[in-house]
A and B are shown apart, each in its own frame.
Chain A
C-alpha cells in the first residue's frame, strides 16, 4: 500500500464521519425554525415544548459536527501540502470566508440558542435559532462552493512563481459561481433538509410505536412528513435531474462512470439495478431504454459520451462510483415511496397513527437518509478521481511529500479509534435523550417573563429572573 492511498483513506474517513452531522443540523434547524415560528404565532406552549426537546438534540448533533469539523480546516495543510500550495489562492479564500461569515455567526449565537430555553422569550429564541441556522446554511454554501471549484474550476490562471504551479484568481465571481455550484448547492441543501425531517419522523414514529408523547409525536409528524414528501419528490425530479445535466455537461467521464456507460451513443439506457464490469466494458441489469439520454438532454436522441472515449488513465474507479451512485438514486426513489405512502395513510382517515409497519419504516428512515447523503457525497468525490482538482491536478502527487507512511498510519489509527468511540458515545447519548422524552409542558407565566426584545435584554438587571428563582 502506498502513502497516497493512506492519505486518501484518512481524508475519506474523517470527512465522511463529519458529513454525518452537518446535514442533520441543517435539516433539524429548519424544523426548529418552524416550531419557533409556530410558538410566536400561536403562543401554544406545545411548540415551545417541542423546541426545548429538539434544541437539546440539536446541541448534541452540533457538538459532534464541531468536533469532527475542526479537523477539516487543518488537514489540507497536514496531508495535502502540494494541493494546498496549488489551490491556496482560491480554495483557501473560500474556507476563510466560510470561517468569518458562517462559523462566527454559528459560534456567536449557538450559546444563545442552546441556553435560550430558560433565558429567552419565544421571539428572541427564534431569532437566535434562525441566526445559527443561517450560519450553518452559509457554511454549507461556502463549502459546496469550494468543492465545486475542485469539480469544475473557473476564474483562475496557472502560473509558477517559484514554488511550483499555483492557481491564481482572475475573477472572484467565476471562482464562486462555477458551473456546478448552483445545481450542487440546491441538491445538498434539499438532501440535508430531508435528513433533518427524517430524524424528526423517526423519533416521532418511535414514540407512536411506544405510545408515549402521542400528541406531540403527531404534531412532529404533521410538520416533518409534508416537508419530507415534497422534498423527496423535488429532489429526484428537479434537483437530482439538474445534477445529471450538469455532470453530463461539465464532467462527462464522471457521468459515464456513474451510469456505467462505456460507449458513446444516443438513446442510452439508464440502469436501475445492475453490475458493471470494467474488464468487458459492459453494464448489465434492469435498464430503462433511452432514459439517460432523456435525463441529460430532454430527448432520446441526446448523445451521451462513454468511458472509452476518454483515456483509461483518467477513469475513476468505475465499480465504486457506479455502485455508490446507484445506492443514492435508489434510496431517492424509495424516499418518494415512503413519503407518498405515509402521507396517503395520514390523509386517509389518519390511519398512519396505528399502521405499525409504516411507523417502523419511518423509524428506519434516518438511517436511510444518512446512507443516501453519504453515498451522494462519495459519488461526487470518487467520481472526481483521479483528479483532486478536475483536469488540473492529480490526487496522486498532491499529498504532503514530507509526511511518512508510518506517520499517516499512526494518525489514521488514531482517527479510527477516536471516531469509533465518539460514534458509539453519540448514539448512546442520543438514545438516552430520545428515551428520556420531552420535558414537561413549559409554564406560560414563566417563559413570558423572559426577555423577548432587544430593549428588554439591555435594560434588565443582570440575571434578575434566575436570581429570584434561585432564592425561592
Chain B
C-alpha cells in the first residue's frame, strides 16, 4: 500500500516537474508575440528556451509512461475517454516541436512569421488544453463500471474547465515572463517587466476565483478539504510563495522570483493532489467507479520494480538537468547554432 501512495506522490512530482519546467517555456511561447517585435528579438526569445525546451518536454512523456506503468487503468480510461482532446494535444505538441526547429531554417520573412505564429498558437494551445483536462479531472468524469467513458470535445469545454485553462495560461505566462527576465536584455526586458505586474494581478484574480469555484463544486476535493483541514497548508503556502515572488520581482531579484514562482506552482499542484488523494479519477456517475490508487494501480511487483528504477534514475536526471541549466545560464547570445 505504501508503494501505491509513493507512486501517487511520484506521479504528482513528475507532473509538477513538467508544469514547472515546460511551463516556463510554454509561457515564453505565449508571450513571444507580445514582447518581441522584430526577427532578431523573436530569435532571442526563442533561444532563451533553445537548449532546454526539449528536455523539459520529456517530463510530459515521462508522465505518460509513468501513468501507463503505475496506474494503467487510469492511462487507458483517461486517454481513450479524452480521445479527440488527446489528438488535439498531440497535434499542438508536434506543431510546437517543428515550429521551434524549422523557424529559423530559412531567411524568408513569410516562412519565419508563419512558424512564429505556430510557436505562439501551439504554446497557448498546449497550456489551455492541459488546463482544461485538469479541470475535467477535478470536476469528475462519467466513468462506467468498465472504466470507460464516452465524451466528445464539447463535453470537455465546460465553463469551469475553461476557466481553469485560462488561469493556467495566465499562470504560465507569468512564470515564462519571470524566466525571460533572466535571459533577455532591453528592449525586450523592458517590455517583459512592464507586462509582469499586469499578469500578476490577472493571475491573483483568476486563481482566487478558480479556487473558490473549485470549492463550490460538489467533488471529493471539497469533502477532503473539510475532512482533513491540515491539507490547506498547500494553498496557503502557495499564496505565501506568490507574495514572496511578488516582492522579489519588485526588488528586481529575478532568479529568486523565478524560484518562488516554481515553488508556488509545485504547491498548487500539491493542493490539487492532496484534495484528490486517494482518488485519481473521480466518476461523476457513481463513486463506486472511481479509479483510485489501489483499484487502478499495477500490482506490487511492478510498482516495486518501477520504484527501484525511479530511485536509480531520478538522481541522474536531476544532476544533468541542473548541470545543463547551469551551463546555459546568463543572457542569450545568438550564434550560428541558434534556432
Interface residues of A (CB under 8 A from B): 56, 59-60, 63-64, 66-68, 70-71, 73-79, 81-82, 84-85, 87-93, 95-101, 103-112, 114-115, 117-119, 131, 162-164, 166, 168-170, 172, 400-403, 407, 410-411, 414, 418, 422, 425, 429, 432, 439, 457-458, 462-463, 466-467, 470
Contacts and interface: CB of A to CB of B under 8 A. Distances in A.
Interface stretch (B193-201, B263-271, B309-317): B309-317
Contacts of A103: 58, 61-62
A104 B313 contact: yes
A402 B80 contact: yes
Given A77-B75, A402-B148, A411-B87, A92 B69 contact: yes
Contacts, number: 252
B328 interface: yes
Q: Enumerate the 7 nearest inter-chain pairs by beta-carbon distance, A residue then B residue, closest first.
A: A88-B72, A111-B51, A77-B79, A92-B68, A107-B55, A92-B69, A400-B80
B57 interface: yes
A368 B62 CA distance: 34
B93 interface: yes
Contacts of B337: 56, 114-115, 117-118
Interface in B169-217: none
Contacts of B102: 425, 429
Given A71-B94, A96-B62, A169 B302 contact: yes
A317 B13 CA distance: 45
Contact of A100 (B106, B295, B309): B309
Given A93-B305, A107-B54, A462-B330, A70 B90 contact: yes
Contacts of A56: 337
A236 B219 CA distance: 61
Contacts of A82: 76
A108 B321 contact: yes
Given A168-B299, A411-B84, A74 B77 contact: no
B299 A169 contact: yes
B90 A114 contact: no
Given A92-B68, A168-B302, A410-B84, A70 B336 contact: no
A95 B58 CA distance: 13
29 contacts: A56-B337, A63-B101, A64-B98, A70-B97, A73-B65, A74-B79, A75-B90, A77-B64, A81-B80, A82-B76, A84-B68, A84-B76, A85-B72, A93-B302, A96-B70, A100-B317, A103-B58, A104-B58, A108-B55, A118-B336, A118-B337, A163-B147, A163-B295, A169-B301, A402-B150, A422-B98, A429-B102, A432-B105, A467-B333
Contacts of B72: 84-85, 87-89, 92, 166
B240 interface: no
B55 A172 contact: no
Given A100-B317, A109-B320, A93 B298 contact: yes
Interface in B293-339: 295, 298-299, 301-302, 305-306, 309-310, 313-314, 316-317, 320-321, 323-324, 326-331, 333, 335-338
Interface in B101-115: 101-102, 105-106
A448 B298 CA distance: 52
A78 B83 contact: yes
Nearest to A419: B94
A447 to B, nearest CB: 12
B68 A59 contact: no
Interface residues of B, number: 78
B134 interface: no
Given A100-B314, A402-B148, A90 B336 contact: no
Nearest to B56: A107
A411 B328 CA distance: 38
Given A115-B51, A403-B83, A96 B78 contact: no
Most buried by A among B89, B106, B306: B306
A87 B73 CA distance: 10
A66 B54 contact: yes
B50 interface: yes
Contacts of B76: 77, 81-82, 84-85, 88, 400
B15 interface: no
* Interface hub of A75, A104, A106, A467 (most chain B Cβ within 10 A): A104
B336 A85 contact: no
A73 B56 CA distance: 16
A422 to B, nearest CB: 6
Contacts of B106: 429, 432
Contact of B302 (A71, A77, A90, A463): A90
A403 B85 CA distance: 12
B98 A63 contact: yes
B105 A111 contact: no
B233 interface: no
B81 A402 contact: yes
A164 B147 CA distance: 11
A91 B56 CA distance: 24
A129 to B, nearest CB: 13
B66 interface: yes
B91 interface: yes
Highest count of chain B CB atoms <10 Å: which of A84, A90, A97, A108 = A108
Interface string B270-306: 0000000000000000000000000100110110011
Q: Point out which of B65, B66, B331, B335 has the most chain A C-beta atoms below 10 A from its C-beta.
A: B65
